[in-house]
Amino acid sequence: LAVALAALLPTACARRSQDLHCGACRALVDELEWEIAQVDPRKTTQMGSFRINPDGSQSVVEVPYARSEAHLTELLERVCEKMKEYGEKVDPSTHRKSYVRVISHDGTKMDLSGVKIDGDVASSLKFACESIAEEYEDELIEFLSHEADNVKDRLCSKRTDLCDHALHIPHDEL
């Protein structure tokens, strides 16, 4: 029995870690997309060189602020704080863990049946989020600076393999 448990333990720990990192990646993208959507689409920022060209002109262009590198970098510095608003849900049939918001953005009541809310879950999710944001900062900015479809799947499954098991999970489940 001890040998069987010892053989299964690394698999369970690896799956738990994969579930955590996949959930953190998907929650990170959700939060970034929500934050981007909150910015006034008319708000712009200047990009380019502020040096004066020989002809007296400048190479500065106005770009939408919401998807600018400056805005996305600012969001990445603080977005993982939102992980404390998530709880853990375990699928009864597969025993896979997913992470769901426990506090809605707009204050509507949420169904939290079967959701585990505790500090350890939140801190583990926040730590995983921070490591993903740091390691994949360039990819996150690349995907989010353009209005791309399925950023969660493209980043969390295809580009990083953090969710290689999750390609079959419906978009609204995580």
Segment 5-54, tens digit of pLDDT: 444 444 444 566 889 999 999 999 999 999 999 988 888 887 766 677 78
Tally the domains of the chain: 1
Q: Strand locations in the chain, DSSP E?
A: 44-52, 58-64, 86-90, 97-101, 115-116
Q: Does residue 6 belong to any structural domain of this protein?
A: no
Measured at the alpha carbon of residue 138, what is the angle toward residues 134 and 140, in degrees to the nearest 5? 85
Domain that holds residue 151: 66-159
Average of pLDDT values for 83-93? 92
Q: Can you tell me the distance from the alpha carbon of 105 to that of 35, in angstroms, rounded to the nearest whole number?
A: 10
Q: Can you tell me the distance from the alpha carbon of 31 to that of 128, in angstroms, rounded to the nearest whole number?
A: 14
pLDDT at site 137: 93
pTM exceeds 0.75, yes or no: yes
Q: DSSP class of residue 145? A: T
Evaluate whether 104 touches 110 at the Cβ level (below 8 Å).
Answer: yes
Q: Does residue 88 belong to any structural domain of this protein?
A: yes
Evaluate whether 31 touches 125 at the Cβ level (below 8 Å).
Answer: no
Q: Does residue 9 belong to any structural domain of this protein?
A: no
Q: Can you tell me the distance from the alpha carbon of 165 to that of 18, in angstroms, rounded to the nearest whole number?
A: 9
Average of pLDDT values for 50-69? 78
Q: Does residue 100 belong to any structural domain of this protein?
A: yes
